[in-house]
Amino acid sequence: MANNHRTISNVLRGVFNRICLCIARLLFPAQLRMPFYRATGMKIGKGSKIAATVDVDQSAPELITIGKDVWVTRGVMILCHQRDLQAYEVGKPVMDCPLVYKPVVINDGAHIGIGAIIMPGVTIGKGAVIGAGSVVTRDIPDYCVAVGSPAKVIKNFNQTEK
């Protein structure tokens, strides 16, 4: 999904999102932050918490879906856009490549460790645990532990997948 239109309503929406995300960072406890995250269009289930220092993609927070009882810990980055390098050519600035937007889904009960980076288009399974500092570039299955860069499954608690 690509979205490179800079209309007045998009710019105003961007300003609104950034204000909401700035306010969310100032609030404590985590429950007080959730209405401000939701106001940006993020879908967040009951019981989920997002730490104050989480860096949510400011240009497309509405592409982020977080299930119930998810814990996104300090310093995590959730990205929904990147440059489409299919159009990249020698001698041209990479900034000329269009942006491509992809949704991120973090399913019920997942735990995202400190400083992890969730890349565009990734779905993290139910109950999955992502290790601190991991870079998640591909989908992660339910009930497992995934660590590293790129994140790989090191433990699987899902009996049906053993």
Ligand X SMILES: CC(C)(COP(=O)(O)OP(=O)(O)OC[C@H]1O[C@@H](n2cnc3c(N)ncnc32)[C@H](O)[C@@H]1OP(=O)(O)O)[C@@H](O)C(=O)NCCC(=O)NCCS
Contacts to ligand X by CB under 6 A: 73, 113-114, 129, 131-134, 145, 147-148, 154-155
CB of 125 to ligand X, least distance (A): 15
Euclidean distance between CA atoms 103 and 83, whole angstroms? 15
In the bound complex, what is the minimum distance in angstroms from residue 85's beta carbon to ligand X? 27
Handedness of CA 41, 45, 47, 49 (dihedral sign): negative
Q: Are β-strands 104-106 and 64-66 bridged in parallel, bridged antiparallel, or unpaired? A: parallel
Q: Determine the 3-state secondary structure of 162 from DSSP.
A: coil
Instruction: Give the burial class of 58: count Cβ atoms within 10 A of its Cβ; 0-12 exposed, 13-18 middle, 19 or more buried.
Output: middle
Q: Which is nearer to ligand X, 88 or 157 (CB)?
A: 157
- Using the minimum distance from each CB to ligand X, give the nearer residue, 5 or 28: 28
Cβ proximity to ligand X, 51 vs 97, nearer residue: 51
Burial of 108-131, coded b for 16+ CB within 10 Å and e otherwise, reads: bbbbbbebbbbbbbbbbbbbbbbb
CB of 147 to ligand X, least distance (A): 4
Minimum separation from the CB atom of position 43 to ligand X (A): 23
Residue 24 or 63 with smaller CB distance to ligand X? 24
Nearer to ligand X, 75 or 103 (CB): 75
CA distances from residue 69 to 78, 108, 118, 121 in whole angstroms, order as listed: 17, 6, 18, 21
Shortest spacing between CB 134 and ligand X, in angstroms: 6
Q: Tell me the residue nearest to ligand X as measured from the CB.
A: 131
Q: Phi-psi bin for 151: left (phi > 0), alpha (psi -120 to 50), beta? A: beta
